[in-house]
């Protein structure tokens, strides 16, 4: 039996039970009340009637007395039990007389009797409270007939509400099965149902969107990676074949071999970046954080990179504040900074200048690399940190677009942040901000 049916049956049984309990409580309460009011009425009728009996010439006179007063029988008996006034009644006539009130249970119901001794005779007031079944039949019959309809309506209503509440769950199961069967993550659930259903559907939809997005990114990443690896492999193959066909020409062979080595280096760099990014994604990239002098590290980098910049006829200046230490992975920070300076060199204009600096500001060590090169358009600034994104692929045929993605990953692994400010055609400033208290 499914959950829907179980809920409805459970709920209907409880409604039935509750209705029966309420009904019985009502019945016993109204029964008690009606007996109480009947006892009161009988008492009142007896005292009213007793005041109407007159004794004249030693005889009882019943002129103004009614035999039946508002459903209450009035009768008068002498001491031997002979009926002097009123209607004969086999049930109550046989009950011995005694001052006061009593209840008499018969198959018809409950008799309320009250006797009063006066001037050598008994006056009796009596009334029958109809049996439980008679009361039920008269007062509660419409209710008894209506009760099963109420229970039925409540069961049906409950069934429809449960059915409606479960429909997003059923949609969810159907959509999940469709996705499992066809791997189509673009499917979404209908969010127009009840509040809870809408919340469930929206949560499921946003999970699907995230899965869809991450699968799309993964696919893009794999496509880009294979594309990037195909180029050096093709060059290596072509150069190898060329070298084999020109074995007699030492110069040509040397040239082909050096191209092969260069492309192999490029592939090596690419593969290490891919490996590092994938380890970082999986959370298995080892981050060896320790306290180190950032000032000393940057001085060494400035010297080495300054040489490379000068070789390319670029002006390289550095302003590095002393005694700045941070808690981070030194190798990773070095890799990120070298990457930023390499980019500044690659994207500089001829005889351009690069400014490299380190300063402390607001509890952070700010490492910035500024160039007056080609600059980056606003729309590209948001995408340059994406994996494999290159603004102008033709300009940097030897790179892969993984450099800044790696810098961003390094920054986040070390609690740092990377920002870019750039004017197209004017130059760019990349700033790596590392918190000074990073532990
Ligand atoms: P690449 O391997 O192409 O250098 P990066 O991820 O390091 O990859 O950079 C992504 C893109 O960002 C580059 O292709 C380039 O278009 C742009 N870029 C990065 N640094 C600079 C810079 N200093 N000046 C202008 N453009 C830059």
What pLDDT, in 10s, does the model give residues 365-376? 999 999 999 999
Asked if residue 183 has pLDDT above 60, the reply is yes
Does residue 439 surpass a pLDDT of 60?
Answer: no
407 CB near ligand 1 (under 6 Å): no
pLDDT(430) > 80: yes
Residue of the nearest CA to atom 12 in ligand 1? Answer: 384
Q: What is the pLDDT of residues 313-364, one digit of tens each?
A: 999 999 999 999 999 999 999 999 999 999 999 999 999 999 999 999 999 9
pLDDT band at 194 (very low <50, low <70, confident <90, very high): low
Across the chain, mean pLDDT equals 87
* C-alpha of residue 393 to centroid of ligand 1, in Å: 10
Question: 328 has which bridge partners?
Answer: 290
Pocket test residue of 337, 391, 427 for ligand 1, highest count of atoms within 8 A of CB: 391
Does ligand 1 come within 6 angstroms of the Cβ of 308? Answer: no
Contact 340, 430 (CB under 8 A): yes
Candidate from 143-147, 205-209, 299-303, 328-332 with smallest mean pLDDT = 143-147
Q: For Cα atoms 378, 382, 387, give the angle at the middle one, nearest 5 degrees.
A: 135
Mean local confidence (pLDDT), 42-48: 90
Which among 324, 402, 401 is positioned nearest to 357, based on CA atoms? 324
Checking if the pLDDT of 178 tops 60, the result is: yes
Q: What is the pLDDT of residue 135?
A: 62
Q: Which atom of ligand 1 is nearest to the CA of 430?
A: 23
pLDDT per position as a tens digit, 352-365 = 999 999 999 999 99
pTM for the model stands at 0.58
Q: Is 371 in the pocket of ligand 1 (CB under 6 A)?
A: yes
pLDDT band at 29 (very low <50, low <70, confident <90, very high): confident
Q: For 121-145, write each residue's pLDDT tens digit.
A: 889 999 988 766 666 667 777 888 8
**What is the CB-side half-sphere exposure of residue 170 using CA atoms within 13 A?**
10
Neighbours of 347 (CB within 10 A): 20
The CA distance from 328 to 416, in Å, is: 9
């Amino acid at each position: 039996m499914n959950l829907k049916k179980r809920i409805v049956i459970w709920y209907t049984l409880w409604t039935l039970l509750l209705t029966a309990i309420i009904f019985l409580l009502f019945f016993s309460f109204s029964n008690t009340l009606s007996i109480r009011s009947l006892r009161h009425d009988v008492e009142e009728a007896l005292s009213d009637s007793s005041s109407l009996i007159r004794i004249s010439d030693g005889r009882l006179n019943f002129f103004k007395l009614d035999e039946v007063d508002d459903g209450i029988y009035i009768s008068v008996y002498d001491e031997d039990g002979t009926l002097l006034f009123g209607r004969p009644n086999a049930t109550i006539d046989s009950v011995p007389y005694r001052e006061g009130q009593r209840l008499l249970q018969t198959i018809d119901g409950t008799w309320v009797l009250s006797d009063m001794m006066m001037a050598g005779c008994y006056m009796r007031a009596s009334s029958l409270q109809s049996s439980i079944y008679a009361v039920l039949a008269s007062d509660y019959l419409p209710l008894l007939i209506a009760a099963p309809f109420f229970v039925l309506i409540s069961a049906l209503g409950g069934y429809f509400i449960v059915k409606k509440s479960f429909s997003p769950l059923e949609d969810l199961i159907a959509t999940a099965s469709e996705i499992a069967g066809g791997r189509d993550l673009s499917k979404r659930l209908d969010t127009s149902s009840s509040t809870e259903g809408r919340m469930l559907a929206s949560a499921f939809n946003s999970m699907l969107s995230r899965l869809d997005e991450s699968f799309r990114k993964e696919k893009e990443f794999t496509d880009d990676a294979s594309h990037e690896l195909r180029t050096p492999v093709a060059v290596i193959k072509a150069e190898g074949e060329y070298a084999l066909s020109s074995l007699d020409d030492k110069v040509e062979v040397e040239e082909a071999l050096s191209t092969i080595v260069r492309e192999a280096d490029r592939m090596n760099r690419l593969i290490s970046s891919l490996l590092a990014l994938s380890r970082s994604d999986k959370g298995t990239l080892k981050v060896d954080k320790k306290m180190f002098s950032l000032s000393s590290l940057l001085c060494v980098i400035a010297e080495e990179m300054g040489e490379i910049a000068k070789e390319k006829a670029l002006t390289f200046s550095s302003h590095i504040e002393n005694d700045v230490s941070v808690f981070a992975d030194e190798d990773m920070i070095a890799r990120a900074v070298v990457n930023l300076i390499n980019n500044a060199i690659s994207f500089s204009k001829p005889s351009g200048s690069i400014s490299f600096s380190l300063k402390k500001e607001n509890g952070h060590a700010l490492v910035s690399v500024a160039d007056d090169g080609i600059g980056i358009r606003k729309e590209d600034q948001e995408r340059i940190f994406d994996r494999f994104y290159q603004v102008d692929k033709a300009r940097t045929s030897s790179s892969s677009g993984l450099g800044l993605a790696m810098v961003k990953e390094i920054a986040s692994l070390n609690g740092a942040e990377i920002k870019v400010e750039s004017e197209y055609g004017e130059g760019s400033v990349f700033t790596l901000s590392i918190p000074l208290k990073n532990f």
